[in-house]
């Protein structure tokens, strides 16, 4: 009796999970501003001089990745470092495989909190390079304004 009840409970939980918690990914056409932002980020990351590279990259990134006019230390140490090493493997201009429409969310806290949608632009590698496309997460502010990159960690 207990085994049957547990089996029914498990089946119900799996159905509930599949029905409501796991919505399908919505693929949307790339927005020209999003494609341009991807191109600008790849170009900035490709600059040889680090000072000039950061100067070109900072205006393209969301304020949550920054410490004033510079990269946040965690961003610099992890995602930025990896992206600089790997940008050479990606097509330039950006070849967008697909765009996944994201949900509306709030980034930041207190007075710096900002609502908007987070989409993922999947950038293909250069022809002949092994590996999957990498997502660049782009934040579209709810009240308008220019899109900004909020995650470069997969390059």
pLDDT one-digit tens code per residue, 4-28:
655 655 565 555 555 555 568 999 9
In angstroms, the CA 91 to CA 127 distance is 8
Structural tokens at position 26:
């919505």
pLDDT one-digit tens code per residue, 41-98:
999 999 999 999 999 999 999 999 999 899 999 999 999 999 999 999 999 999 999 9
Residue 111 has pLDDT above 80, yes or no: no
Percent of the chain residues topping a pLDDT of 90: 76
50 contact partners, CB below 8 Å, separation of at least 6: none
Write b or e for each residue in 44-77: b if 16 or more Cβ atoms lie within 10 A of its Cβ, otherwise e: bbebeeeeebbebbbebbbbbbbeeeebbeebee
The mean pLDDT of the chain is: 89
By the 10 Å C-beta count (0-12 exposed, 13-18 middle, 19+ buried), 14 is classed as exposed
Which helix H or strand E contains 114, and what residues bound it?
Answer: strand 114-123
pLDDT number for residue 154: 84
What is the pTM assigned to this prediction? 0.83
């Amino acid at each position: 009796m207990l085994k049957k009840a547990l089996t029914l409970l498990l089946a119900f939980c799996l159905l509930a999970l599949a029905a409501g918690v796991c919505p399908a990914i919505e693929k949307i056409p790339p927005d020209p501003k999003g494609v341009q932002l991807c191109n600008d980020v790849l170009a900035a990351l490709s600059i040889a001089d680090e000072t000039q590279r950061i100067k070109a990259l900072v205006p393209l990134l969301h304020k949550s990745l920054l410490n004033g006019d510079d990269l946040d230390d965690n961003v610099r140490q992890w995602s930025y470092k990896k992206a600089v090493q790997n940008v050479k493997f990606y097509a330039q201009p950006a070849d967008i495989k697909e765009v996944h429409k994201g949900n509306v969310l709030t980034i930041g806290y207190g007075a710096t909190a900002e609502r908007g949608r987070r989409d993922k632009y999947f950038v293909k590698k250069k022809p002949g390079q092994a590996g999957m496309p990498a997502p660049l997460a782009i934040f579209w502010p709810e009240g308008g304004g220019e899109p900004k990159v909020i995650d470069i960690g997969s390059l």
